[in-house]
Amino acid sequence: MTITYKQLAYEQRCQISALKKSVCSQREIAEIIGTSQFTVSRELARNTANVDIGTGKHKAK
């Protein structure tokens, strides 16, 4: 059995960022964007969800 992985789209990262700011739980965010809670957790831990929604560009670290 082969496990396949799929990267999150930029729009999904923006959604995670916006939903986290609106105080949604990781479980709620996962249900909304259609991924697992663990995917959301990893994305938040990596800080890749830290994007500038207004310009469509990632923030510099």
What's residue 55's pLDDT? Answer: 55
47 within domain boundaries: yes
Domain encompassing residue 48: 10-52
Q: What is the pLDDT of residues 20-30, one digit of tens each?
A: 999 999 999 99
- Residue 60 CA to residue 45 CA, distance in Å, equals 17
Supply the pTM of this predicted model: 0.68
Q: What is the pLDDT of residues 4-19, one digit of tens each?
A: 777 899 999 999 999 9
15 within domain boundaries: yes
43 within domain boundaries: yes
- Residue 58 CA to residue 14 CA, distance in Å, equals 10
